[in-house]
Structure 1
């Protein structure tokens, strides 16, 4: 039987081309587009060729989440008060899971792997971060499951969440180069003229990848309250209640 090797997200980013034209006005949304396209590509391959044995990342009800990967990514980016670098680290973690642990990304596990890698990356990258209860609400899962997913993730990586600065910079540079390709698709003459943002910002000592400026987050209180919990096994309409900052959805799990 022919062995199966899943390509990495970094490889996909390097070869990613836009599916449509993008303008400069859409530049801020390109990270979502790039992440979605690359992750969806790997998930399709995993669904077709892979048979994953990592049951710990499967939905408890064994059913496919009905919310799309893009909508779920958009939800994480909208409600997670973390730096954008955390999503870069999230890609690195997913590649480590696939390369070092043999985990296969598929339609069943991708949502829970996404919320888990974002949770871990915020704790590693940012000096200020929200707790597991907050991210369980953002991810649409129970607090108990969020805790279990974090523990299972750390077990697979032997409790090493270390992210090499040079490797993180490689991911960041490839993402910025990919943004360049996406924008130049509309106007080929603009290739090389787009300003590539500097790689990750670190403290002057460069001894730690933690950001020197932490994201502004509200005081504790309402952000940790939720009368109804959304679920990534469904496709809720998300909204933030005015003057409350509480994440709500139209479904209760």
Structure 2
């Protein structure tokens, strides 16, 4: 009976986890479509379209207020970062079978991890507001200067080669080692370990969030590609071999963005 209930609980928790990811992506899609309607209006109304993209327009749109912007980033964190937690949660699940872990601790790890990313959502939402009112990004969160877009690509690409990235990625790539070195039991212990893992994860992946300003923070294509790469980085088999090649790709992309106006004569 106990074994049966444990299997049922496992199924419910994992199904709930993946349902939360799907729900977050659905909400992000709905928000992106609504933002297009709010900012761009009718497809043929070019005057309104250009005005909506002008950073000097009156700042009375939802994405010019901290509350809606923070909510957007928090949902985006759920959509993009929860999928990257699968190897970590699987590692903890192994400790339920082999050590004194339990499903309350599993939920604690998930909760602590997400708390850190929600805090990061507040920080980056505040940064986006500052950039918006400074005329550095438009209402869609897209850099208004190719210098900023190219500089972001170069900076994030260079970060892939730093010692900080190496240390943070090492923890994210091998969560079992973190659990063994920081083991705490129960829900509270899980939250504590989740907070620590979340800090390392932010240190590893913050750059891919910042790259939203290069292509638009509500750009679903960017969100999908960034999520895919961050998942690949954390896979035990290949995670350690994709980090630096991605750094090279980002640096080349940054150089291309910086050179584009001169090549095209713009």
Give the TM interval when normalised to the shorter protein: under 0.3
Higher helix share: 2
Q: TM-score, normalised to structure 2's length? A: 0.25
Which protein is bigger by CA-based radius of gyration? 2
